[in-house]
């Protein structure tokens, strides 16, 4: 039998699990204080729901669950491989949340401000840093279209990161409608917007000339490529982008989100407009945001507005917006930096020689204040104590009888 976890999944040692639990508890504390309610949805989801969910590239990364019994027999006989699975493992927490809202909205507050911290799955090619099973921490507001939702999501997500000790990060904000307006004003065809965005997304990596070359290669009109390049030379402010769009309400809304978020940040983190910010998911309709951490590549959090996704379930538009912390990125950074989470209880070793029940009764008197592990006194006590100190034990007591507790070690 194989002893390693399946590719792309991890076994977490006790110290790692303690860090992960502490991290999650801290994030949940901030989210709950801000008035969001935690809910739980299943990891298993109907395969058709997943397939029709506009999840972009993630739709190619769904783990599918084989049918069982007679239905599997029928599927095998049909010769159609797509009929073999009836369920899949969710690739994010947003699609299940939309289904959940559609199913339970009569029993939910309005607007519904909610938390999900849970596992998601993607059948990535296993390679360094790409997990197939990983956690996300999301907050979402369903049933509210006001920009206040975005302001509060940005503020709360930033607050959670600050509670974990992070400072100086950058929140990038865009609105897909602004980007689409700008591309239209440059003369790109609406059908090519997604393809243009993919090239534009590489600006950091391949530079202006690289983007030009790619767009030309894709057959975009020369004049459109010129207009776009000219716009980007020297950076695109929201004002500059807004000037190219007919309807001023969309950039004005985005501007109000950015201004309020800057005010609330008190200079502890940056808020910037970034016209090149796109985010992969096909279901985003308006605002998109992500958070970059100095010294680390890629985003540590991301999200956006998905006003049309719930409508796919109930045929009625329900505005929605969410922000997701990439839990594994945060865990990786904290682990790399050797950080611990405050507020966890100290651990004592309780060493005994006599009756086990007496020792256990003694340990019980200490368990209101400490986590206590019982150890029968070994021949080499010093070796045991050294090992326990390395594992992070704060001290030891020698329990001869309930009324006779002797302290030794670091904690007296």
Q: Which residues, numbered 23-62, are part of the site for a copy of itself (CB under 8 A)?
A: 32-35, 37-46, 48-49, 52
Q: How far is the CB of 65 from a copy of itself (least distance, A)?
A: 5
The rounded distance, in Å, linking the Cα atoms of 160 and 34 is: 10
Q: How far is the CB of 323 from a copy of itself (least distance, A)?
A: 15
Of 198, 243, 263, 381, the one binding a copy of itself (CB under 8 A) is: 263
Q: Residue 240, Cβ neighbours under 10 Å: how many?
A: 15
The rounded distance, in Å, linking the Cα atoms of 44 and 65 is: 9
Q: Which is nearer to a copy of itself, 123 or 213 (CB)?
A: 123
- Tokens, residue 402: 């309930």
Of 59, 347, 394, 409, the one binding a copy of itself (CB under 8 A) is: 347
| 89 contacts a copy of itself (rule: CB under 8 A) | yes
| 243 contacts a copy of itself (rule: CB under 8 A) | no
- Tokens, residue 162: 């600050």
| 169 contacts a copy of itself (rule: CB under 8 A) | no
Of 83, 84, 162, 231, the one binding a copy of itself (CB under 8 A) is: 84
| 122 contacts a copy of itself (rule: CB under 8 A) | no
Supply the DSSP symbol for 121.
E
Cis peptide before 111 (omega within 30 of 0): yes
> For residue 352, what are the contacts with CB-CB under 8 A and spacing of at least 6?
358, 359, 362, 374, 375, 376, 377, 398, 399, 400
> For residue 134, what are the contacts with CB-CB under 8 A and spacing of at least 6?
119, 120, 122, 327, 328
Q: Which is nearer to a copy of itself, 34 or 203 (CB)?
A: 34
Query: Alpha-carbon dihedral of residues 247, 249, 252, 256, nearest 10 degrees?
Result: -160
Residue 64, SS3 per DSSP: strand
| 150 contacts a copy of itself (rule: CB under 8 A) | no
Supply the DSSP symbol for 91.
S
Q: How far is the CB of 232 from a copy of itself (least distance, A)?
A: 32
Q: Which is nearer to a copy of itself, 104 or 223 (CB)?
A: 104
Q: Which is nearer to a copy of itself, 133 or 201 (CB)?
A: 133
Q: How far is the CB of 208 from a copy of itself (least distance, A)?
A: 37
| 1 contacts a copy of itself (rule: CB under 8 A) | yes
| 74 contacts a copy of itself (rule: CB under 8 A) | no
Residues in the chain, overall count:
412
Of 92, 113, 279, 323, the one binding a copy of itself (CB under 8 A) is: 113
| 407 contacts a copy of itself (rule: CB under 8 A) | no
| 365 contacts a copy of itself (rule: CB under 8 A) | no
| 93 contacts a copy of itself (rule: CB under 8 A) | no
Paired strand residues for 408: 396
Please say whether the beta carbons of 55 and 91 come within 8 A. Answer: yes
Please say whether the beta carbons of 63 and 88 come within 8 A. Answer: yes
Q: How far is the CB of 203 from a copy of itself (least distance, A)?
A: 32
Of 54, 59, 63, 83, the one binding a copy of itself (CB under 8 A) is: 63
| 377 contacts a copy of itself (rule: CB under 8 A) | no
The rounded distance, in Å, linking the Cα atoms of 374 and 399 is: 9
| 82 contacts a copy of itself (rule: CB under 8 A) | no
The rounded distance, in Å, linking the Cα atoms of 308 and 305 is: 9
């Amino acid at each position: 039998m194989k002893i390693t976890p399946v590719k792309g999944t991890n076994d977490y040692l006790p110290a790692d699990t303690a860090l992960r639990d502490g991290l999650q508890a801290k994030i949940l504390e901030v989210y709950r204080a801000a008035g969001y309610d935690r809910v739980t949805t299943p990891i298993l989801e109907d395969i058709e729901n997943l397939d029709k969910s506009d999840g972009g590239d993630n739709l190619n990364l769904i783990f599918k669950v084989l049918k069982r019994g007679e239905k599997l027999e029928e599927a095998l006989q049909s010769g159609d491989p797509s009929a073999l699975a009836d369920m899949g493992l969710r690739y994010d927490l947003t699609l299940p949340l939309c289904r959940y809202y559609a199913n339970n909205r009569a029993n939910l507050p309005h607007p519904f401000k909610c938390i999900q911290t849970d596992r998601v799955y993607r059948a990535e090619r296993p390679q360094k840093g790409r997990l197939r099973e990983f956690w996300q921490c999301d907050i979402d507001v369903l049933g509210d279209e006001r920009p206040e939702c975005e302001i509060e999501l940005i503020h709360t997500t930033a607050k959670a990161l600050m509670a974990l000790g992070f400072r100086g990060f950058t929140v990038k904000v865009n609105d897909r409608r602004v980007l689409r307006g700008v591309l239209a004003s440059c003369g790109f065809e609406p059908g090519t917007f997604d393809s243009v965005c993919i090239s534009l997304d590489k600006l950091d990596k391949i530079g202006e000339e690289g983007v030009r070359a790619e767009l030309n290669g894709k057959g975009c009109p020369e004049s459109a490529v010129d207009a776009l390049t000219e716009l980007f030379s020297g950076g695109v402010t929201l004002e500059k982008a807004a000037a190219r769009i007919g309807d001023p309400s969309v950039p004005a809304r985005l501007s109000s989100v950015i201004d309020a978020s800057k005010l609330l940040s008190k200079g502890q983190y940056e808020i910037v407009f970034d016209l090149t910010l796109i985010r992969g998911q096909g279901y985003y309709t308006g605002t998109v945001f992500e958070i970059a951490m100095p010294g680390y590549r890629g985003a540590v959090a991301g999200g956006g507005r998905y006003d049309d996704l719930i409508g796919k379930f109930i045929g009625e538009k329900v505005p929605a917006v969410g922000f997701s912390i990439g839990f594994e990125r945060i865990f990786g950074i904290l682990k790399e930096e050797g950080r611990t989470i405050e507020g966890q209880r100290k651990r004592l070793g309780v060493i005994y020689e006599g009756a086990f029940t007496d020792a256990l009764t003694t340990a019980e008197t200490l368990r209101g204040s400490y986590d206590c592990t019982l150890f029968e006194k070994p021949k080499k006590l010093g070796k045991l104590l050294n090992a326990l100190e390395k594992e992070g034990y704060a001290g030891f007591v020698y329990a001869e009888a309930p009324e006779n507790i002797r302290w030794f070690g670091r904690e007296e």
